[in-house]
Amino acid sequence: MNNRVALITGAGRRGGIGAAIALTLAQRGAHIVISDICATQTELLAVNNPAWEELQNVAREIETCGGRALALRADVTDADSVQAMVERVRAEFGRLDILVNNAGIAISPGPVVFMPDEAWRKTLDVNATGTFLCCKYALPLMLDGERGGRVINIASIASERPKPNMAAYAASKAAVVALTRSLAQEVAMFNITVNALLPGDVETALKQWGVQLEADAKGLTYDEVYVGQIARIPLGRFAQPQDVAHMVAWLASDNANFITGQAFAVTGGREWT
């Protein structure tokens, strides 16, 4: 991947999937652009977004791998913000070879009849519309180079095996998979592949939040829920962000140049029941 340029959204959290993907691609020689919405200092206590300094720290770590890194604040739900992000990539690097749509949220889980309307809209807006907007505005830069490219969308196993109380999240990720399969056919003639990953349980701050939420709802301890979930994974552990990152790196490489329109589960063999 020497001198290829990769853009990864939702990469502002050091222990998250996006940061792991960025570092893995950098270790393979790519130049990296990372983005996140990034809370301001006054917002940090009210919203679950990484701080700008966190995103910059990830960029500095990427640079220790020897490549160039650019950190950008961007809101994937806003077309103007996405366009501005892509124009910065064009100005700084003049090309785009790999797009990883990782930005995503899960808010206000609960039964549909009790779900706030705004929670549904926001979840679909970030997870589905955000992926659409990034594809729409980044693909022209990828096409300009006439070198082909890779689009990798981070969906979820919930798109195929949805759990109760997660309707908005599951629906949004199912939309990402459908977008992936349709878009793959549109850009195949340009040697651009489009694939999705369907992570299951990944050891991140978001997963820890989900375990605690389930524990509170069921009157159990965090450890009881954690151990119970691991017991349902044949490989006997949660995934690490690096497990997802390695799969992204393969799909972004020349070794996967005949793979497109696919959705790959990264679950350790777990079946959602």
Q: Which residues pair with 4 in a beta bridge?
A: none
pLDDT category, 57, cuts 50, 70, 90?
very high
Average pLDDT over residues 100-120: 93
Q: Whole-number mean pLDDT of the chain?
A: 92
Q: What is the mean pLDDT of residues 77-92?
A: 98
Buried/exposed 1-31: b ≥16 CB within 10 Å, e otherwise:
beebbbbbbbbbbbebbbbbbbbbbbbbebb
Is the per-residue pLDDT at 271 higher than 90?
A: no
For residues 48-75, average pLDDT? 88
Per-residue model confidence (pLDDT) at position 42: 46
> Catalytic one among 137, 169, 222, 226?
169
Residue 67 has pLDDT above 90, yes or no: no
- Annotated catalytic, 226? no
Q: How confident is residue 109, by pLDDT bands cut at 50, 70 and 90? A: confident
Res. 108 pLDDT band, cuts 50 70 90: confident
Residue 249 identity (one-letter amino acid): A
Would you say residue 85 has pLDDT above 80? yes
pLDDT at 40: 54
Q: In the predicted model, is pLDDT for residue 170 greater than 70?
A: yes
**204 three-state secondary structure:** coil
pTM higher than the cut 0.75: yes
Quick one: CA dihedral 122, 270, 7, 177, positive or negative?
negative
Could you tell me the fold of the domain covering 5-202+240-266?
Answer: Rossmann fold (3.40.50)
Q: What pLDDT sits at residue 251?
A: 98
At 212, the amino acid letter reads Q
Render pLDDT for 231-270 as a digit per residue (tens, 0 to 9): 999 999 999 999 999 999 999 999 999 999 999 999 999 8
* d(C-alpha 86, C-alpha 7), whole Å: 9
User: What residue type is 43 in one-letter code?
Assistant: E
Is the pLDDT assigned to residue 49 strictly greater than 90?
Answer: no
Q: What percent of the chain has pLDDT over 90?
A: 77
Tell me, rounded to whole angstroms, the distance of Cα 19 from its chain centroid. 10
Using one digit for the tens of pLDDT, what is the confidence trace for 145-163? 899 999 999 999 999 998 8
Q: Tens digit of pLDDT for each residue in 20-41?
A: 999 999 999 999 999 999 865 4
Contact predicate 99/74, CB 8 Å: no
pLDDT of 185-227, one tens digit each?
Answer: 999 999 999 999 999 999 988 788 888 888 888 899 999 999 9
